[in-house]
Copies of this chain bind each other. A is one copy, B any other.
Amino acid sequence: MTSTPLLTDLPSYPKLQALASTLKRARIDQFFIEDPLRTDSFRVQAAGLKLDYSKQLLTKEALTLLLQLADEVGLQQRVRALVAGEPINSTEQRPALHSLLRAAEGGALDAEFRQVCVTRERMKHWVDRLHQGAHSGFSGQPISDVVNIGIGGSDLGPRLTTEALKPYQGHIACHYVANVDPTDLQDTLSNLNPASTLFIVCSKSFRTEETLANGLVARQWLLAAGATAADMDMHFLAVTCNREAAAQFGISANNCLPLWDWVGGRYSVWSAIGLSSAIAVGWPNFERFLEGARGMDEHFLQAPGEANMPLLMSLLEIWYCNFFGAPSQAVLPYSQHLKCLPEFLQQLTMESNGKRVTAQGTALEYSTAPLMWGVAGTMGQHSFHQWLHQGTSLCPVDFVLPLTTHSDKPEQLRQLVANCLAQSRALMIGRSESAALSTLLRRGFSGPEAKRLAPHLVMPGNRPSSTITFEALTPETLGALLALYEHRTFCSGQLWGVNPFDQWGVELGKEIGAEVLDQLMGESNPSDDQTDPSTSALANAWKALN
């Protein structure tokens, strides 16, 4: 791979800096007055999604320069390298082929694509078998419940997909257990019947501490309920690269679905890691989910920069992060079924781009991945929106809004939509002191009282947002939405010059975790030599009680 330049070394960077410092004094609402057709210019669609980014602090000039930035970093070539299967994950010297997982054909990657197709067939086999009631537990009862045991990328994607597609839910209920805290599994199992419960143990390495611990407890739970060791094949599937370790756990090759080293955990919902959600919604719906993502892939590959939705969203991320110093980005889905989206995107964006060196190991002096966060609207309006409107930190918002509902309460949907639109408008227009004053007088406050209170009602406005809409939350639009953020994350990684596919920063914690675990298990108390005085005091406090 050629080395990527530093963002700050790109020719357009200083021009954008200068422009940003001018635009800090500009008003978004003024842009609409200057150009009444602005919304038409700052709107794109792709794969069933529409992005309105006209409420951003962005001019055509800024956009042109940002698109140049993408050219200067050679983004198009990077995208081609990504889909061609070049070892774009350079530190681990392997490709990142998550798009192939939802592809309709393999092209030059035919060998890998054949593996994908074989695995899809095996997934379909399991889904259909379970849906037909043809797979039974140890007592002969058909499976009624599936528990996915996995963490991080082996949890967040299928958890989100199952929740988002609840209206497509069939008769098998899927549950998600991730935490090593024993109460997570215990609370889940307390409502389930061992005789009709199937576990899917998802771990790329089959070495994940949390997942193995929970898997073992699940096994004990089945044995305690009367299953024998020989029955385990009726109750356990595995999704992993490490078939040997799964076999040692007692999961036979037949029950073991593969992963490949060219799929990162946080990009793996399209692989067999998605099996639990495929079981929840049925195979045809899972295929529609893949198709939706494929539509976004095609758009990402083909659309020119100025119409390319993932690229535009990435440029906005860079714009606020690196030219306005915005430390965070909120995603607010106005849809209860998308309540898991912020946590999914937290992993996708922050684990991918939360890096301090380039792909070549050069330390960076500029910011990378902003903090990604949010909750489902309208919940946040009664919580942190005060901060969004009147806090002192710049936080661009992505509103995500399905325009119709699967429910039969259209009047509530109307309220939901009105709230979403109103929030983006309120963030933009704000409220001046004189408007605050009139509002208070209209409400019957006396002159002096109104004057005293007005500053508290003032909102600076000019707070940027995009709104992503789609006709309905379907398997296709969900697939397109997740692929959109995947590609946005890829583009931002390239612009920052980091490798979005590794995660070396999580290793030290694991190593120290093993050391601390030894100390907690040891006969003697941990000493300050083994660790630091704070950690040894905390460890000793635990030992005194356990």
Name the contact of A412 in the complex, choosing from B166, B213, B350 (C-beta under 8 A). B213
Name the contact of A384 in the complex, choosing from B178, B351, B383 (C-beta under 8 A). B351
Binds B, one of A80-88, A294-302, A423-431: A423-431
Binds B, one of A131-139, A230-238, A328-336, A487-495: A328-336
Which residue of B has the minimal Cβ distance to A363? B455
Chain A, 364-390, CB within 8 A of any chain B CB? 364, 366-371, 373, 375-379, 381-390
Is the Cβ of B182 less than 8 Å from the Cβ of A383? no
Residues in B neighbouring A379, C-beta threshold 8 A: 151-152, 155, 178-179
Asked if A413 lies at the interface with its beta carbon under 8 angstroms from chain B, I say yes
Asked if A115 lies at the interface with its beta carbon under 8 angstroms from chain B, I say no
Asked if A72 lies at the interface with its beta carbon under 8 angstroms from chain B, I say no
Residues in B neighbouring A38, C-beta threshold 8 A: 533-534
Other CB < 8 Å A-B pairs besides A55-B532, A422-B516, 10 of them? A50-B541, A166-B187, A210-B378, A350-B391, A373-B373, A387-B505, A418-B520, A421-B538, A426-B508, A456-B502
Is the Cβ of B534 less than 8 Å from the Cβ of A39? yes
A11-45 contact mask (Cβ, 8 Å, vs B): 1 or 0: 00000000000000000010010001111000100
5 contacts between A and B (CB under 8 A): A183-B406, A390-B504, A418-B520, A422-B515, A422-B516
Number of chain A residues whose Cβ lies closer than 8 Å to a Cβ of chain B = 153
Q: How many copies does the complex hold?
A: 2
Q: A346-B384, A385-B506 are in contact. Are A416 and B166 (CB under 8 A)?
A: no
Q: A415-B180, A422-B515, A538-B469 are in contact. Are A350 and B384 (CB under 8 A)?
A: yes
Which residue of B has the minimal Cβ distance to A532? B32
Name the contact of A371 in the complex, choosing from B36, B91, B328 (C-beta under 8 A). B328
Interface centre among A356, A511, A538 (most CB of B within 10 A): A538
Is the Cβ of B181 less than 8 Å from the Cβ of A532? no
Asked if A395 lies at the interface with its beta carbon under 8 angstroms from chain B, I say yes
The CA-CA distance from A398 to B529 in the complex, in Å, is: 25
The CA-CA distance from A356 to B431 in the complex, in Å, is: 13
Q: A425-B532, A517-B415 are in contact. Are A351 and B506 (CB under 8 A)?
A: no
Residues in B neighbouring A364, C-beta threshold 8 A: 392
Name the contact of A390 in the complex, choosing from B153, B407, B505 (C-beta under 8 A). B505
Residues in B neighbouring A179, C-beta threshold 8 A: 336, 376-379, 416
Chain A, 512-546, CB within 8 A of any chain B CB? 512-517, 519-521, 528, 531-535, 537-539, 541-542, 545-546
Residues in B neighbouring A304, C-beta threshold 8 A: none
Binds B, one of A98-106, A271-279, A457-465, A474-482: A457-465
Residues in B neighbouring A516, C-beta threshold 8 A: 417-419, 421-422, 425
Is the Cβ of A337 less than 8 Å from the Cβ of B538? no
Q: A390-B356, A426-B512 are in contact. Are A166 and B181 (CB under 8 A)?
A: no
Is the Cβ of A455 less than 8 Å from the Cβ of B183? no
A385-405 contact mask (Cβ, 8 Å, vs B): 1 or 0: 111111111010000010111
